[in-house]
């Protein structure tokens, strides 16, 4: 039977405790061979750490606390303090088991994702019969049957049927999503509705699910800056301790009149209390827990360093379309000057012949009001202006207000149209012969959560910027509504990159949030690149963190998560350093013995690990921040 590392650590701790208790009882009863029981306790409890310490020292030339603990236990036994040596090993083994538990718990989200990843799929042939095959054998273009309650085996497109899909494994959202024909399906999500047919669009190794697993694995194996610094410090610190121990033994013995046993005993106590176990555990368990917390809530960090840096954010820039806005235009203004029902029927009959986003927006807005009088009609596209059709000798045109020289718009209506354009809206006009009978204002409106998120960052004094390739008026309309500090419009990809580089020089830690191919260079050059999960693959590849669902509130949650991580790691470092200093001084003044030193040292390690486990708690999006509002007029650049 194979045991997990967590179970092995727990078993070692239990065996160590049992033999330690047996040895204590035998010692008190006066049995001569009681040291054998303590030796077994030390072997069972300290074998793994001692082996790791020796291997790390010999192979990687890196001294760590495991080696110090092994030497301290051996030293205690040499001077006859068998119980203290076994007790030291037990508590050190217990803290190691707790750290193993923390690591396992922190990685449970990735483990659960792995378990959710389907291994087989039902392949449909041309006759409609199904064959169960391995997911790895599927090719792009294959047709699959997904039964009710089954996992979507691979990324693809819904080709037949409608269903409700549970996408919690991908987005972290518990509310199922309605899917219709041609909608995207993601491997690892659950089909809650009736059986559906899908078409494979990606190979198994390129699916979004596989990418999530890869990203989380990489992140949990990439240490934060603090953890890397502590690891480097550990090597030097252990060398200092190993040099200090002989001095602690010899100086009091030679110059302060201490006995040899007392001097050696104090050296062993110093070996225990000066070991930086708690300091070493200050950052890594908390960071792993924070990364897992983010993964559970639909936010992927590609390394602890990016999560850690987010707390020090000074400036954040957003792409507009698809990031701050929905990415699709909606009708914000509709004015019918005459013959509303007739104009509406003609409008929709013409727009149904187009796949243009503006046409789709008009259909979405008015489709429920249409009686479908005209059905299918012949429509001619006028490049650069709009569409035209003739019905019963009447010429209907829809498009720009300056459709041609013959169309007539009076001055009052022209001013109203110009006002809509000033507000950044695209204006579409409907003409009957040469007379305007309706006009519509369309705008890619901000997402509902965008203003709240922008306000959150502004309240913290973080400079906000919008960078877009859209024209000035539209950019200004969105930025004004969201109260963004700075706007850059008409930007090409290289322009975005230059702006981000300048902000990085000025503010230090800056972030860029985007979703398109044109955002990729800027994402790569920012201190922290943030990609929207429903954006392009290249944006996700070059970014440092990914919001799996296009929900900006997850960005706010990530910032709060990072601030909490920084707070907890700082608490751990201050606490562990303070305990080490206190124990060293207490030992020098002969105020503590080895058991108390062991309890103080290993107890602080356990407390630090438990404090780090607080990062597993979900952070709500709603959080009160400083009421001080950094009022700053929008700067258009």
Q: Report, as residue numbers or ranges, the catalytic residues.
A: 319
Check residue 150 and report its DSSP letter.
Answer: P
Check residue 147 and report its DSSP letter.
Answer: -
CB count within 10 Å of CB 149 equals 10
In contact, 466 and 318? CB cutoff 8 Å: yes
* Element at 4 (helix H, strand E): none
Q: How far apart are CA 61 and CA 59, in angstroms?
A: 6
In contact, 237 and 67? CB cutoff 8 Å: no
Q: How distant, in Å, are the alpha carbons of 69, 86, 594 from that of 72?
A: 5, 10, 10
DSSP 288-352: HHHHHHHHHTTEEES-HHHHHHHTT--EEEEEIIIIIB-SS-EEEEEEE-S-HHHHHHHHHHHHT
Q: In this structure, are strands 120-124 and 635-636 parallel, antiparallel, or unpaired? A: unpaired
Beta-bridged to residue 428, according to DSSP, are 440
Give buried/exposed letters for 459-488 (b at 16+ CB in 10 A, else e): eeebbbbbbbbbeeebbbbbbebbbbbbbb
Cα 480 from chain centroid? 29
- 439, exposed or middle or buried, with CB in 10 Å at 0-12, 13-18, 19+? buried
- Among 182, 186, 148, CA closest to 167: 186
In contact, 431 and 409? CB cutoff 8 Å: no
């Amino acid at each position: 039977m194979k045991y997990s590392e967590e179970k092995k650590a727990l078993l070692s701790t239990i065996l160590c405790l049992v033999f330690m208790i047996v040895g204590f009882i035998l010692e008190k009863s006066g049995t001569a061979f009681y040291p054998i029981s303590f030796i077994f306790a030390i072997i069972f409890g300290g074998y793994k750490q001692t082996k790791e310490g020796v291997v790390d020292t010999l192979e990687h030339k890196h001294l760590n606390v495991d080696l110090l603990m092994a030497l301290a236990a051996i030293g205690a036994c040499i001077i006859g303090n068998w119980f203290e040596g076994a007790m030291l090993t037990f508590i050190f083994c217990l803290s190691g088991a707790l750290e193993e538990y923390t690591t396992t718990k922190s990685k449970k989200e990735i483990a659960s994702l792995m378990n959710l990843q389907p291994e087989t799929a039902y392949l449909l042939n041309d006759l409609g019969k199904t064959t169960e095959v391995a997911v790895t054998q599927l090719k792009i273009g294959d047709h699959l049957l997904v039964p009710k309650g089954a996992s979507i085996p691979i990324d693809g497109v819904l080709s037949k049927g409608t269903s409700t899909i549970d996408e919690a494994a991908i987005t972290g959202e518990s509310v199922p999503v309605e899917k219709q024909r041609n909608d995207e399906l993601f491997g690892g999500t659950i089909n809650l509705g009736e059986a559906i047919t899908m078409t494979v669009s990606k190979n198994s190794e390129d699916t979004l699910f596989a990418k999530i697993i890869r990203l989380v694995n990489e992140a949990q194996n990439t240490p934060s800056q603090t953890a890397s610094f502590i690891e480097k410090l550990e090597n030097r610190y252990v060398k200092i301790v190993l040099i200090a121990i002989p001095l602690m033994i010899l100086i009091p013995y030679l110059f302060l009149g201490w006995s040899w046993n007392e001097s050696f005993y104090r050296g062993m106590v110093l070996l225990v209390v000066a070991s930086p176990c708690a300091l070493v555990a200050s950052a890594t368990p908390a960071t792993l827990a924070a990364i897992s917390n983010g993964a559970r809530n639909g936010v992927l960090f590609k390394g602890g360093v990016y999560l850690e840096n987010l707390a020090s954010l000074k400036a954040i820039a957003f792409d507009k379309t698809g990031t701050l806005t929905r990415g699709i235009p909606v009708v914000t203004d509709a004015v019918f000057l005459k013959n509303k029902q007739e104009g509406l029927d003609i409008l929709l009959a013409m727009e149904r012949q187009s796949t243009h986003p503006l046409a789709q927006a008009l259909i979405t807005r008015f489709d429920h009001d249409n009686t479908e009088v005209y059905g299918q009609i012949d429509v001619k596209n006028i490049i650069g202006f709009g569409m035209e059709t003739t019905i019963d000798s009447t010429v209907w045109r829809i498009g720009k207000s300056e459709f041609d020289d013959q169309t007539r718009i009076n001055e009052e209506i022209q001013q109203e149209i110009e006002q809509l354009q000033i507000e950044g809206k695209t204006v579409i006009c409907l003409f009957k012969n040469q007379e305007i009978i309706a006009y519509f204002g369309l705008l890619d409106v901000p997402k509902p959560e965008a203003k709240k998120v922008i306000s959150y960052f502004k309240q913290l004094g973080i400079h906000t910027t919008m960078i877009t390739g859209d024209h000035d008026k539209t950019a200004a309309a969105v930025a004004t509504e969201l109260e963004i500090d700075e706007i850059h419009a008409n930007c090409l990809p290289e322009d975005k990159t230059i702006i981000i580089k300048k902000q990085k020089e000025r503010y230090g830690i800056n972030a860029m949030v985007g979703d398109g191919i044109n955002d990729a260079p800027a994402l790569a050059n920012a201190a922290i690149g943030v990609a929207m999960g429903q954006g392009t693959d290249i944006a996700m590849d070059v970014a440092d963190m990914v919001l799996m669902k296009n929900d900006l509130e997850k960005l706010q949650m990530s910032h709060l998560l990072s601030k909490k991580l920084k707070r907890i790691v700082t608490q751990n470092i201050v606490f562990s350093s303070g305990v080490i200093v206190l124990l060293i001084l207490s030992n020098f003044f002969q105020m503590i013995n080895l058991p108390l030193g062991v309890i103080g040292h290993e107890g602080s390690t356990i407390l630090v690990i438990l404090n780090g486990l607080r990062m597993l708690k979900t952070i709500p999006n709603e959080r009160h921040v400083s009421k001080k509002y950094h009022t700053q007029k929008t700067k258009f650049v």
